[in-house]
Amino acid sequence: MSLLEIYDKMDYGPAPESPAAVNTWLDEHERKFGLFINNQWVSPENAEYYPSFNPADGEKLADTVQAGQVEVDQAVRAARQAFETWSTAAGTIRARYLYALARNIQKHHRLLAVLESLDNGKPIRESRDIDVPLLARHFYYHAGWSQLMDNELSDYQPVGVIGQIIPWNFPLLMLAWKIAPAIAMGNTVVLKPASYTRLTALLFAEIVAEAGLPPGVVNVITGSSKAGSMIVTHPDVDKIAFTGSTEVGRILRRQTAGSGKKLSLELGGKSPFVVFDDADLDGAVEGVVDAIWFNQGQVCCAGSRLLVQENIAERFISKLKARMQHMRVGDPLDKCIDMGAIVDQTQWDTVDSWVKTGAEEGGEVFQPDISLPDQGCFYRPTLITNLEPAAETVQEEIFGPVLVSLTFRKPVEAIALANNTRYGLAASIWSDNINLALDVASKVKAGSVWVNCTNLFDAASGFGGYRESGFGREGGIEGLFEYLRPAWQARPRPSFEPAEASTTWGATTPSRPTLPDNGRQSTKELPKVDRTPKMYIGGKQVRPDGSYTRAVLSPKGELIGQVGDGNRKDIRNAVEAAHAAHKAKPGWAMRHAYNRSQILYFIGENLDARADEFAQRLRAMTGQSLKSAQAEVELAVKRLFTFAAWADKYGGSVQETTLRGITVAINEPLGVLGITCPDEYPLLSLVSLMAPAIARGNTVVMIPSQVHPLSATDLYQVLDTSDVPGGVVNIVTGDRDHLMKTLIEHEDVDGVWYFGTPEGSYHTEYESAANMKRTWVNYGIARDWLNDEEGAGHEFLHEATQVKNIWVPTGE
């Protein structure tokens, strides 16, 4: 046999990692684990236990407790008690603990990696080289933020006790994304791992104690979804951080609605992997392998929708199929395998039924002819071609090693297909044309975009979704804000109970009848010219669709004006106009920030020129003194200047990740925002909400104060004279809650801000769960709009934007 023949026939031999150290550790615990509360193992009397299995061979690894209400209460109490000292300790002290934790993780690197592979089924190559190094990296990175917090984040305070719920696909990594930023910022946590993969969280808990963290800072509770629910609804938990399915995310959004708890949701995805004809095709094939077969495809940001340019599709698919024939699926502890085991038989069955659905939908299913172990939850890498874009298998998250593939002709079609999903977690773009790749990257709606690379993660770069992939970021400075609140703000604790929620919230209320004005004006004098404020939609003054009006009364009950009573149709028109303003050339978000800032300055200048008139109007509406009304107008002008200044200073930053290349965080606008304004300071509060939203490239539908709307209807004349393009600001007057409900239900509104009642805040959060709109509500708590921190802080910029991280490797 020639050397070449020997080489061709050469196969990989097994290179197994030993499970001995893990077995010793499990035996030391008699393969039975309690809950980790206050740095102690707690095993409740008569506890129920749940078995953990190795999905590669079905062998039982250990039993863990099913926590109940008593244990959840105990853990939350421990976290609350620890919060008192942990949150007030100097950041430099907390930094030392995080540093010690990072060091201890590194000391137990191998043990963690082997246990992760045994418990989850992922290849040791991945747990050893990706999951555990990233676990340590997150604690180092956040030790750094803890060190810097007192100086760099002095306008913020920790949130409190955080309930954290994580999935089974990256048990250690998800734990790191949650715990590291939370405790670095002075919070304490109660974490619940997923039921399939509880063991590494318990080993991590032991490392927490070993690193000397004070008791109660990190508590780990094992249990079912019921225990998760107990954490979510616990009154003494201040924030919920969740990673998991969109379906459960929706439940959590509803359960926490109106409670004043902060919430971040990292949910599912169906991310596009786009290959243009000028891409390095062999590189892109390897990219696909990493995108969809990494972790057996059980990756939230898996590139599970392959979009290939039509002229290379045949060649690319045949290269991909050839590569699939060489994939190695087998024992997760074998260092030479590409894919390990699916986490559990139930998940295996779900994946398999999706593949059958794909075939029923007319797809051509390809699975390579490779050998699989005789037992265990192993699944072949699968490719389904020939599907329609609307097919269920193309739209839904399969969460397994199944790739669906479509073709496109032009870049514009690729972008449309990439965005043709309810999700928005990630995207991978392959092209050697940097202009094209970056243009597509900027137009795809996703939190992470990888150019000529895929599935890259680092603690210095925030990860999170657009649309139904959730909201909030984990990693980077942007991720810290999930665990901070402004220093001036106490945890909102609205007294509103969901049980009291009205089933008719947002139904139309009849317009207030207009009071007769007869006889007030003398017939001897020329009567005043009637002035009927209209609504402002698409840059035009328009009458209300329903032709109803509402009376506006002074504090003494005198009629001082009438405004249109907006209805669903008016909102629909306003949303359409707000979208058209994005589509115009140049669209509002695509204009230079300089141009947006000029326009905001110009609004300020024109408002200032009419300051007296606005002050008189405010005085008539609210009954405040002229002096205070003048101060309100002056401050409104100042706010316009402040956000004009921010229009070109909040674009994003270069993230210092471990990638050799460039990772850029871009603060993108959400799109179309619906905003209801409070009754206090009707001009100032409206301007304080409108200005940051449009400064950062959003277009808005403003619902002014229901009782004091006239300064808003006066403002459109200022907008008209300030070069504001039609549709950027739309003003619809009428019943606040009815109009907000319509905005929430509108599929094309990207986010809603509600400043109104506790009940309205509840409904806004609850009902927005239907399509996971991002919300910002005030829980009925008035803020001091005169104060710059409360009326113009960074919070406004944060709420007006979402971070997209674009990763571009450089060099050969």
Catalytic residues: 266, 300
Residue closer to ligand NAP (CB basis): 248 or 418: 248
**Chain residue at closest Cβ approach to ligand NAP:** 228
The SS3 of residue 725 is coil
Closest by CA to 121, choosing from 347, 324, 305, is: 347
Using the CB atoms, write b or e for 776-802: b if 16+ within 10 Å: bbbbbbebebeeeebbbbebbbbbbbb
Distance of CA 400 to the CA centre of its chain: 23
Q: Which two tokens stand for residue 240?
A: 């919920």
Name the strand (E) or helix (H) holding 544: none
Inter-residue contact 758 to 784 (CB < 8 Å)? no
The SS3 of residue 413 is helix
| Cis peptide upstream of residue 586 (ω within 30 degrees of 0) | yes
Residue closer to ligand NAP (CB basis): 244 or 697: 244
Residue closer to ligand NAP (CB basis): 246 or 685: 246
Give the residue carrying structure tokens 């070993």: 210
Residue closer to ligand NAP (CB basis): 378 or 399: 399
Interatomic CA distance for residues 100 and 104, integer angstroms = 6
Residue closer to ligand NAP (CB basis): 169 or 655: 169
Task: Specify which residues 162 forms β-bridges with.
Answer: 189, 239
Sign, CA torsion 251/256/257/262 = negative
Inter-residue contact 773 to 752 (CB < 8 Å)? yes
Residue closer to ligand NAP (CB basis): 312 or 403: 403
Phi and psi dihedrals of 50, rounded to 5? -130, 130
Give the residue carrying structure tokens 């150019």: 451
Residue closer to ligand NAP (CB basis): 470 or 725: 470
Please state the closest distance from residue 250 (CB atom) to ligand NAP, in A: 10
Name the strand (E) or helix (H) holding 117: helix 109-120
Please state the closest distance from residue 199 (CB atom) to ligand NAP, in A: 13
User: Interface with ligand NAP by CB under 6 A: which residues?
Assistant: 165-170, 192, 194-195, 224-225, 228-229, 232, 243-245, 248, 251, 266-269, 300, 397, 399, 425, 463, 465, 469-470
Residue closer to ligand NAP (CB basis): 74 or 469: 469
Q: 166: which residues sit within 8 A by CB, 6+ positions away?
A: 174, 175, 178, 191, 192, 193, 194, 201, 243, 244
Interatomic CA distance for residues 443 and 309, integer angstroms = 17
Please state the closest distance from residue 812 (CB atom) to ligand NAP, in A: 31
Please state the closest distance from residue 543 (CB atom) to ligand NAP, in A: 45
Tell how strand 751-754 and strand 672-676 pair up. parallel
Residue closer to ligand NAP (CB basis): 168 or 796: 168
Give the residue carrying structure tokens 């009925």: 780
Residue closer to ligand NAP (CB basis): 228 or 401: 228
Please state the closest distance from residue 255 (CB atom) to ligand NAP, in A: 7
Strands (E), 375-438: 382-385, 402-408, 426-430
Closest by CA to 633, choosing from 612, 663, 653, 651, is: 612
Name the strand (E) or helix (H) holding 809: strand 801-809
Tell how strand 652-655 and strand 661-669 pair up. antiparallel
Give the residue carrying structure tokens 């999905």: 55
Please state the closest distance from residue 224 (CB atom) to ligand NAP, in A: 5
Phi and psi dihedrals of 738, rounded to 5? -65, -45
Residue closer to ligand NAP (CB basis): 267 or 391: 267
The SS3 of residue 142 is helix
The SS3 of residue 134 is helix
Phi and psi dihedrals of 595, rounded to 5? -65, -45
Inter-residue contact 310 to 408 (CB < 8 Å)? yes
Distance of CA 246 to the CA centre of its chain: 11
Q: How many Cβ atoms sit within 10 Å of the Cβ of residue 520? A: 9
Residue closer to ligand NAP (CB basis): 142 or 178: 178
Helices (H), 234-386: 246-256, 281-292, 310-324, 345-360
| DSSP conformational letter for 487 | T
Please state the closest distance from residue 168 (CB atom) to ligand NAP, in A: 5
Q: How many Cβ atoms sit within 10 Å of the Cβ of residue 530? A: 6
Q: 763: which residues sit within 8 A by CB, 6+ positions away?
A: 257, 258, 501, 505, 506, 737, 741, 744
What are the C-alpha distances in Å from 39 to residues 43, 97, 105?
13, 14, 17
Residue closer to ligand NAP (CB basis): 157 or 304: 304
Give the residue carrying structure tokens 């990989």: 12
Interatomic CA distance for residues 435 and 429, integer angstroms = 12
Q: How many Cβ atoms sit within 10 Å of the Cβ of residue 491? A: 14
Q: 781: which residues sit within 8 A by CB, 6+ positions away?
A: 492, 494
Interatomic CA distance for residues 811 and 575, integer angstroms = 45
Please state the closest distance from residue 657 (CB atom) to ligand NAP, in A: 17
Please state the closest distance from residue 237 (CB atom) to ligand NAP, in A: 12
Amino acid identity of 480? Answer: L
